[in-house]
């Protein structure tokens, strides 16, 4: 099969979070299974060019219709760790992708509406006719809309779309100007509840809703989150739309790329290990302490890696840090906040705890350091308010770092409580789960592993090894996606 992924991220060249990991990991797995995969991405000024091999002009004369005229674009081509990627660079005063950051501009909706349009134009003009176009999140929600309403008539009638939602919170809202810009026009046609009109704001278009309504298959990133999105507020107002399109909607658990996340081969850690020489993990713990200037004492390290925002349960992260410090553990945090109040809060904590030899807060994005933390820490916490899939607990498991998670979304599908899980036999349980989003529930789930670490280290080791047994690679999810692609491409 010939598959084209259209996305706003692809790790490690463009990565703001899990979306980048998924786009890369899934593409690689599909290629391993014998399919032909290409990626279309924006050419941001701030992406990691050091991860692109052989970047060169591939299509210099792409004109993308925009409002009444057209914007001239260049398309570059290069390999990102073996994946063939096309990067679109528009030449216009809007500087759509030269902002020094991936997201966060006031005109994000226009930037990615343009990207969606340009990606389709590129496919059209370069005569690429994939069997399946796989789009991701709100940024590409307009791709299936424009394909079905416009490009189908220009010669792309056989292309089918799989649309994956990684986070329902960000849906992409826009006004009527997007319709004029993209050439969709027909305001009264699209501002309908069965088309793009937002379910709550009748004056807004909703890109993600468009993705759901117009795609041949819609997925989210774990089975439990698929249920939450339909039946709880976690669908952020799209539950009813998902309900109407339920026959096309499923949850497919994300995987992690074992080439990149593997303690046996990880190029960013000093000591490689497997289940059979697990004691080598201790050398990474030592290296982590040296790197972060933590004291080398007989204590477990609890870690947190992730964005610092409401979704991730920052108040619980903060509480876990002090709980760890008062209960014989060290704490390491690697996180970045886009909201200034949260950023200021953690900066203040960092200053306040500066001389404490048991804690380190690293504020910012640091891929290399994240690997050392996964390998060096004993436990990782994921206390999210909601978590569509969550990758950090799966990476933690692979590195024998015991996850302590809140029982929401994909965390429910991947972590099984050592003491209370009803679905797995004791030897297959792999972490700790709490459900309420309060301090007592969190403390209860921190107290149990800490006691186990101190009082029964052999049992703690077995728990970590049980986690390493889990195969959360892309093998299985890759097959699931191929089944979905197969199903939609045979439907005309
Ligand atoms: P998200 O909601 O951000 O997509 P996920 O758990 O799905 O959360 O994926 C997070 C990914 O981003 C993981 O690969 C994690 O290691 C990485 N990550 C998150 N924050 C940071 C950071 N500050 N520095 C380095 N890597 C990070």
Contact status, residue 437 vs residue 314, Cβ threshold 8 Å: no
Query: How much of the chain exceeds pLDDT 70, in percent?
Result: 100
- Cβ-proximal residues to 330 (8 Å cutoff; 6+ apart), any chain: 289, 294, 299, 300, 301, 302, 324, 358, 359
Q: Which residue's CA is the nearest one to ligand 1's atom 3?
A: 17
- In ligand 1, the atom with minimum distance to the C-alpha of 11 is 14
What letter would DSSP give residue 364?
A: S
Q: What is the rounded distance in angstroms from the CA atom of residue 105 to the CA atom of residue 423? A: 45
Known binding residue 152? Answer is no
Would you kindly state where each structural domain of the chain is located, as residue ranges?
Answer: 2-255+475-489, 278-468
- Cβ-proximal residues to 407 (8 Å cutoff; 6+ apart), any chain: 433, 434, 435
User: What's the CATH number for 2-255+475-489?
Assistant: 3.40.50.2000
- In ligand 1, the atom with minimum distance to the C-alpha of 334 is 23
Q: How confident is the model at residue 2 (pLDDT cuts 50, 70, 90)?
A: very high
Residue 349 Cα distances to 198, 295, 304, 337, angstroms: 40, 19, 15, 14
Q: Which residue's CA is the nearest one to ligand 1's atom 24?
A: 365
- In ligand 1, the atom with minimum distance to the C-alpha of 391 is 6
Which one of 3.40.50.10440, 3.30.1390.10, 3.40.50.1370, 3.40.50.2000 gives the CATH number of domain 278-468?
A: 3.40.50.2000
- Which residues lie with the beta carbon below 6 Å from any ligand 1 atom? 17-19, 21, 305-307, 334-336, 365-367, 370, 389-392
The closest alpha carbon to 182, from 62, 42, 67, belongs to: 67
pLDDT tens digits, 184-222: 999 999 999 999 999 999 999 999 999 999 999 999 999
What mean pLDDT comes out for the span 142-164?
A: 97
pLDDT tens digits, 331-359: 999 999 989 999 999 999 999 999 999 99
In the chain the first and final C-alpha atoms are separated, in Å, by 16
* pLDDT at residue number 490: 72
Ligand 1 midpoint to CA 82 (Å): 22
* pLDDT at residue number 338: 84
Other residues' Cβ atoms within 10 Å of the Cβ of residue 469: 11
Q: What is the rounded distance in angstroms from the CA atom of residue 407 to the CA atom of residue 415? A: 8
* pLDDT at residue number 17: 85
Residue 414 Cα distances to 10, 133, 382, 397, angstroms: 23, 28, 12, 9
**Angle 248-410-408 (CA atoms, 0-180°, nearest 5)?**
110
Ligand 1 midpoint to CA 297 (Å): 28
Give the neighbor-by-neighbor strand order of the sheet with 379-382.
359-363, 330-336, 301-307, 379-382, 402-406, 432-434
Q: How many CA atoms lie within 13 A of 5 on its CB side?
A: 29
Q: How confident is the model at residue 492 (pLDDT cuts 50, 70, 90)?
A: low
Please identify which residue in the block is written with the tokens 């290629």: 31
Q: pTM here?
A: 0.94
Question: Is there a common fold for 2-255+475-489 and 278-468?
Answer: yes
pLDDT tens digits, 249-288: 999 999 999 999 999 999 999 999 999 999 999 999 999 9
- Exposed / middle / buried, residue 465 (Cβ in 10 Å: 0-12, 13-18, 19+): middle
What mean pLDDT comes out for the span 411-435?
A: 98
Residue 404 has pLDDT above 60, yes or no: yes
Ligand 1 midpoint to CA 177 (Å): 34
The closest alpha carbon to 409, from 423, 390, 422, belongs to: 390
């Amino acid at each position: 099969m010939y598959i084209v992924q259209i996305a706003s991220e692809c790790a490690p060249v463009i990565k703001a979070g899990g979306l980048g990991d998924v786009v890369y990991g899934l593409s690689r797995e599909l290629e391993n299974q014998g399919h032909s995969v290409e990626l279309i991405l924006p050419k941001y000024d701030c992406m990691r060019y050091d991860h692109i091999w052989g970047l060169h002009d591939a299509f210099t004369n792409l004109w993308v219709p925009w409002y009444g005229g057209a914007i001239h674009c260049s398309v570059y081509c290069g390999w990102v760790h073996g994946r063939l990627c096309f990067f679109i660079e528009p030449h216009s005063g809007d500087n759509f992708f030269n902002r020094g950051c991936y997201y966060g501009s006031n005109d994000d909706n226009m930037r990615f509406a343009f990207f969606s349009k340009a990606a389709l134009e590129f496919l059209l003009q370069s005569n690429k006719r994939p069997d399946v176009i796989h789009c991701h999140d709100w940024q590409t929600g307009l791709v299936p809309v424009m394909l079905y309403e416009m490009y189908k008539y220009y010669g792309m009638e056989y292309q089918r779309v799989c649309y994956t939602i990684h986070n329902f919170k960000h849906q992409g809202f826009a006004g009527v100007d997007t319709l004029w810009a993209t050439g969709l026009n027909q305001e009264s046609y699209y501002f309908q509840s069965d088309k793009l009109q937002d379910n709550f704001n009748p004056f807004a278009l909703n890109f993600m809703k468009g993705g759901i309504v117009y795609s041949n298959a819609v997925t989210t990133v774990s089975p439990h989150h698929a249920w939450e999105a339909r039946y709880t507020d976690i669908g952020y107002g799209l539950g009813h739309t998902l309900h109407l399109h339920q026959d096309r909607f499923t949850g497919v658990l994300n995987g992690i790329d074992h080439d990149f996340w593997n303690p046996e081969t990880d190029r960013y850690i000093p000591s490689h290990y497997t289940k059979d020489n697990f004691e080598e993990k201790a050398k990474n713990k030592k290296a982590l302490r040296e790197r972060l200037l933590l004291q080398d004492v007989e204590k477990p390290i609890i870690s947190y890696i992730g964005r610092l925002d409401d979704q991730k349960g920052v108040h619980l992260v903060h509480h876990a840090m002090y709980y760890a410090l008062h209960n014989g553990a060290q704490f390491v945090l690697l996180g970045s906040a886009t909201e200034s109040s949260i950023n200021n809060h953690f900066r203040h904590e960092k200053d306040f705890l500066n001389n404490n030899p048991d804690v380190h807060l690293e504020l910012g994005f640091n891929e290399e350091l994240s690997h050392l933390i996964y390998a060096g820490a004993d436990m990782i916490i994921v206390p999210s308010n909601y978590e569509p899939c969550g990758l950090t607990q799966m990476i933690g498991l692979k590195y024998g770092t015991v996850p302590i998670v809140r029982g929401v979304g994909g965390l429910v599908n991947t972590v099984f409580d050592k003491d209370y899980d009803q679905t797995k036999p004791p030897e297959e349980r792999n972490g700790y789960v709490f459900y309420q989003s309060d301090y007592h529930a969190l403390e209860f789930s921190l107290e149990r592993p800490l006691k186990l670490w101190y009082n029964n280290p052999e049992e703690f080791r077995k728990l970590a090894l049980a986690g390493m047994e889990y195969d959360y690679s892309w093998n299985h999810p890759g097959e699931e996606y191929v089944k979905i692609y197969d199903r939609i491409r045979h439907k005309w």
